[in-house]
Chain A
Amino acid sequence: MGLHRFKPLPSGRMGILWTLAAIRDAALVEFGCMGHMLYSGVTLKRAGVHNACKLYSTHIDETDIALGGTERLNHTIDNVVKRDQPRVIFLLPSSIPEVIGTDLPALCAELQPEYPGVRLLPFGYGGFNITHHRGVQEALQLLVKTLPADVKRTQEPTFNIIGSCADLFRFQADAMELVRIMEGTFGIKPLCVMTSDTSITEIENMGGAHINLVIRREGEPAAKHLRQRFGTPYLLGRPYGIDGTTRWLEQIAQIAGLTPDSAFLKEQREISWQQLASVMPSFSHIIRAHPEEAVLSLGGHADVVRGILTFGCGELSLAKGTCWCDCPDMTSEDIPYFSEDEWTRAVQEHKKGYLMASGEALEWAGRNAELQISNPDIKWRLHPYEPPFTGFRGAVHLVNLWINENIED
């Protein structure tokens, strides 16, 4: 990794923690120095995760390290079980146990018989070459491999969302918009919004859903497992734009055999276009007369970048600027992974047009922070009621941001 001026790529351990920390009726115990968990907790609060998983640390000192002592873990688990009675305790290693090779799964297997009413669930992928996206993927996968119960399909159609996790910028607002349009289009409710708005019980029941909506590629292995076990079909994709969202809903109808409420869909499309109507002439003028200003540059999660790019360039005829993703494993020809040197150069070279990236990048470059689409964030997000980027409302929100950027210019 080496020298950085800005926040580095988060670790797999951080990805796992951010995925699990939003789950209710559970506790999370990190085996390691307490500072990690203290500041993870602060970061989660800043991201708007409240009253979810209870977060604990064991701490670890020189003697524990020298002698391989794990008694702190035993005592902590015992204390957490007695105080909180969680359904599940997630166990995570921090960086020090990873170095000294503490075998968390073995410790959990040893302790489990003492706590028959509480499931101890150790998470791996704490290694030093694992990126946070891989951590998210492994956490989602382990959750669906271990927790779902043998349930039958719900009588009325239902759905799960997989991959709404606290590491994504505005994750709660995007998930709420998807739930809104699913309820409106198909009259169906979610069983489990994994993990931004869910509980252990909801994860246990997720096998009853009629379709799994995977909103980031890290969720696909989990969805494949659920398809294999429960026969649940899944759709991988994030809906952006008016046409894009319509297509996404049509695909769901086809995959799950659901009949969309065409009146709702028509109304949503009409409302969205009406809201955009007053600025579309200006937009068209910019694209026609000032093409250098109608350039869309994006940096963030690969699926978010691709989704917004498809909407901006496909439905609104913007030109593609410099686009990059924040995970080396997701690099592609049109949306490559950019290291810190590369994205700082891209941000500095972006003179005209729309630049949407992380809060950290936009603030450093003195750009409009309203155009943030990815993390690292620099602000508190106490509530989930910000406008989304996905769905019909997300489309209007994005255009609203872009037209205001033109006014500010």
Chain B
Amino acid sequence: MKSNNGIKFLTPAVSPGNHCPMRIASVNVEKIKDLSSLLVGMPECTTYSRLFNPKPEGRHGELHWLYVLDAHEVVFGCRDGLIDALRKMDKAGAKAILMIVTCVPELIGEDIQAIINEVQPELSTRVTFVMLGQFKNISYPPGSWKTMEALGTLMDGKATASNRVNVLGRAPEEEHIPMPSLLPTLTRRGLALRYLAPGSSLDDLQSAPDAALNLVVSPFMQALAARMEQEYGVPYIALHTLYDVESIDKAYTALAEYFGFSWDNTFKKERQEALSLQSQAKERLGGLRYVFCPRIDIPLPLAVYLTGLGMEPLLLHLEEYYPEDRGYAKELIDMGHNPWICRMVNAQADLPILKKLAPDLCFGYLPEPNKTITCVPDLFDFYGQVGYARTSHLLKRILDVLSEMNATGKGGTAHGSASI
């Protein structure tokens, strides 16, 4: 498997299936202050986008309008109509516009970049676009990472502020996600953090190239970080893929060296806890076979980590094969494992296959309370968390599930392993 196209469906009849990337793009754009959007598509896409971004006008005057192709435009293109729509949105006061292009305009090969090139000089609003036809972007993650990457177009090159750090993947206000200890520590060291994610403002996004460093804490922001490095020379450190204590050590050390300080014993306690849990996990998880179901946002790096602890991957549901996943896939193979990769699109039909595989542990979403497969459910709540504490929380959760399973005398190695 070398790309998203290589991920086959585990069973053929899709019900209900993965979210469309248009959904995530619609949700995200609605959260960015002062950013307007124009969703381009057929009646289905434009109608259903209102499930996620229900109002045509936002709280700060943002416009979230829709452009629907008619029968003539499906054949002859929608260039004139889109130019007219952008002019109207400009006149109505849009500060910046993200065009979200769905299946049919992508299928007919409408050249959106050429349209923007043609109309941009006469507009006061800045326009960017993201191509999100689901026939090319099978699941929802591109709705996030391609959308955020597209916002790089709206950025302005600025002089670097030596103490400015962008945190890519957390919004300024995140009530439901614990703050990783690293970030307030950086603030105490005199660094000015700017949080960039859906929930930030257009102004923050546009100013982002003035940072000395980007810290990536979400898979949905790495593409933007790579783009900023290429276009504005802002280097980045990706923290979201690091679970192993040693790899976190290296990243934290590199970060301190970059700004010319040392951590001393700042993270000693939480590092010790992570190390202790990691050695416990090696003892208890070694030899257990696992599968990944949906709702794991960083699957291949997590699979590499769990396999490094001695677990055996059987089957991995991948929502998305990220550009950077190739390295993790190689690492997994180098460790002597070549698990099946799939996309689960029908939870009820997929369940008998999972039962037949008889894994010791399942990670992610299972469709019903399932007594025969021990499950570490939904891992989405680790989103935006990084560092030693995330590793500790993850391992505690896994070990708690194991303890509960052993206490009831069900599942786990007590049952032995079944062949595939």
Which chain A residues have a beta carbon within 8 Å of chain B's beta carbons?
A: 1-11, 13-14, 29, 33-43, 54-65, 72, 75-76, 78-80, 83, 94-96, 99-100, 127-129, 132, 360, 364, 376, 378
Q: Which residues of B contact A79 (CB under 8 A)?
A: 11-13, 349
Chain A positions within 8 Å of B48 at CB level: 35-36, 39-40, 42-43
Instruction: Let me know if B154 is at the binding interface, CB within 8 A.
Output: no
B71: chain A residues within 8 A (beta carbon): 127-129
Size of the chain B interface, CB-CB below 8 angstroms: 50
User: Contact check: which of B11, B20, B68 meets A1 at CB < 8 Å?
Assistant: B68
- Measured in the bound complex, the distance between the Cα atoms of B174 and A288 in whole Å is 57
- Please encode chain B, from 125 to 145, with 1 for each CB lying within 8 Å of some chain A CB and 0 for all others: 000000001111010000000
Residue B323 interfacial (CB < 8 Å) = no
Whether B74 lies near A59 (C-beta < 8 A) is: no
| Contact residue among B17, B54, B69, B88 (Cβ-Cβ distance under 8 Å from A38) | B17
Pairwise interchain contact A5-B65, C-beta atoms closer than 8 A:
yes
The answer to whether A62 and B70 touch across the interface, beta carbons within 8 angstroms, is: no
Task: Specify which of B16, B19, B55, B103 is in contact with A96 (CB 8 Å cutoff).
Answer: B103
B13: which A residues are within 8 A, CB to CB? Answer: 29, 56, 58, 75-76, 79-80, 83
**A3-B67 contact, Cβ under 8 Å, with A8-B47, A33-B134, A99-B104:** yes
Q: Give 14 new A-B contacts, CB below 8 A, not counting A2-B81, A35-B48, A127-B71.
A: A3-B81, A4-B65, A7-B47, A33-B135, A34-B16, A35-B23, A35-B45, A36-B20, A40-B44, A40-B48, A56-B13, A63-B5, A65-B135, A79-B349
Distance in angstroms from A32 CB to nearest chain B CB is 8
Interface status of B309 (Cβ within 8 A of chain A): no
B44-A4 in contact (CB<8A): no
Chain B residues, CB < 8 A from A6? 50, 56
CB distance from A54 to the nearest CB of B (A): 7
- B window 62-111: CB within 8 A of A: 65-71, 74, 81, 84-85, 88, 103-104, 107-108
Residues on the B chain within 8 Å of A42, using CB: 48, 51
Find out whether the CB atom of A59 lies under 8 angstroms from the CB atom of B108: no
In the complex, per-residue mask of B321-358: 1 if CB is within 8 Å of any chain A CB, else 0? 00000000000000000000000010001000000000
Contact B43 A43 (CB under 8 A): no
Query: Is residue B237 within 8 Å, beta carbon to beta carbon, of the partner chain?
Result: no
Cross-interface CB contact of A2 among B12, B16, B70, B107, cutoff 8 Å: B70
Please name the residue on chain A nearest to B139 by beta carbon: A34
Bound-state Cα–Cα, A75 to B84, Å: 43
Q: Does B305 contact A (CB under 8 A)?
A: no
CB-CB under 8 A for A128 and B12, given A43-B48, A60-B135, A99-B107: no
Chain B residues within 8 Å of A364, by CB: 55-56
Nearest-Cβ distance from residue A41 to partner chain B, whole angstroms: 5
Known: A35-B23, A96-B107, A96-B135. A11 touches B16 (CB 8 A): no
Do A61 and B138 contact each other (CB < 8 Å), given the known contacts A1-B43, A378-B54? yes
Bound-state Cα–Cα, A11 to B67, Å: 14
Judged by a CB distance under 8 angstroms, whether B280 is at the interface is: no
Asked if B46 is an interface residue, CB under 8 A from chain A, the answer is yes
Chain A residues within 8 Å of B54, by CB: 378
Closest A residue, CB atoms, query B57: A5
B50 contacts across to A, CB distance below 8 A: 6-7, 360, 376
Contact of A95 among B44, B66, B136 (CB under 8 A): B44
Question: Which 8 A-B residue pairs are closest in the complex by CB-CB distance?
Answer: A35-B20, A34-B17, A1-B68, A75-B12, A5-B56, A128-B71, A39-B48, A33-B134
Report whether A99 and B14 are in contact in the complex, using a CB–CB cutoff of 8 Å: no
User: Is there contact, CB below 8 Å, between B81 and A14?
Assistant: no
Chain B 1-25, CB within 8 Å of chain A: the 1/0 string? 0000100010111111111101100
For residue B54, which residue of chain A has the nearest CB?
A: A378
Measured CB to CB, the closest approach of chain B to A71, in angstroms, equals 9
Task: Decide: A8 and B51 in contact? CB cutoff 8 A.
Answer: no
Chain B: minimal CB distance from A135 (Å):
11
Are A62 and B135 within 8 A (Cβ)?
yes
B171 located at the interface, meaning its Cβ lies under 8 Å from any Cβ of chain A in the complex: no
On chain A, the residues within 8 Å of B46 by CB distance are 4, 7-8
A309 to B414 CA separation, bound complex (whole angstroms): 72
Check B14 against A76 for contact (C-beta < 8 Å): yes
B5 touches A62 (CB 8 A): yes
Quick one: given A34-B134, A35-B20, A59-B138, are A95 and B67 in contact (CB under 8 Å)?
no
Docked CA distance A17–B170 (Å): 39
Does the CB pair B74–A128 fall under 8 Å?
yes
CB of A321 to closest CB in B, whole Å: 24
Say yes or no for B27: interface residue by CB 8 A criterion.
Answer: no
Chain A residue, CB-CB nearest to B88? A3
Asked if residues B103 and A95 are in contact (CB atoms below 8 Å), the reply is yes
Given A59-B138, A62-B135 in contact, is the A14-B47 Cβ separation under 8 Å? Answer: yes
Contacts of B186 in A (CB 8 A): none
Report the separation of the CA atoms of residues A54 and B13 in the bound assembly, to the nearest whole angstrom: 11
22 A-B contacts (beta carbon < 8 Å): A1-B69, A2-B68, A3-B66, A4-B66, A8-B47, A9-B43, A29-B13, A33-B20, A34-B134, A35-B45, A35-B48, A39-B20, A39-B23, A39-B51, A59-B9, A59-B17, A59-B345, A61-B5, A80-B13, A95-B104, A99-B107, A129-B70
Asked if A11 and B44 sit within 8 Å, CB to CB, the answer is yes
A14, B43: Cβ atoms closer than 8 Å: yes
**Complex Cα–Cα for A33 and B17 (A):** 10
**A12: nearest chain-B partner, CB-CB:** B43
Tell me, in angstroms, the Cα distance from A94 to B66 when the chains sit together.
19
**Bound-complex Cα distance A4 to B85 (A):** 9
Residues of the A chain whose Cβ atoms lie less than 8 Å from the Cβ of B103: 33, 95-96
Contact status of A3 and B85, CB under 8 A, knowing A8-B66, A38-B17, A59-B9: yes
Q: Does B42 contact A (CB under 8 A)?
A: yes
Which residues from B are CB-within-8-Å of A55?
15-16
Q: How far is the CA of A328 from the CA of B84 in the complex (A)?
A: 23
What distance in Å separates the Cβ of B45 from its nearest Cβ neighbour in chain A? 8
Residues of chain A lying within 8 A (CB to CB) of residue B12: 58, 72, 75-76, 78-79
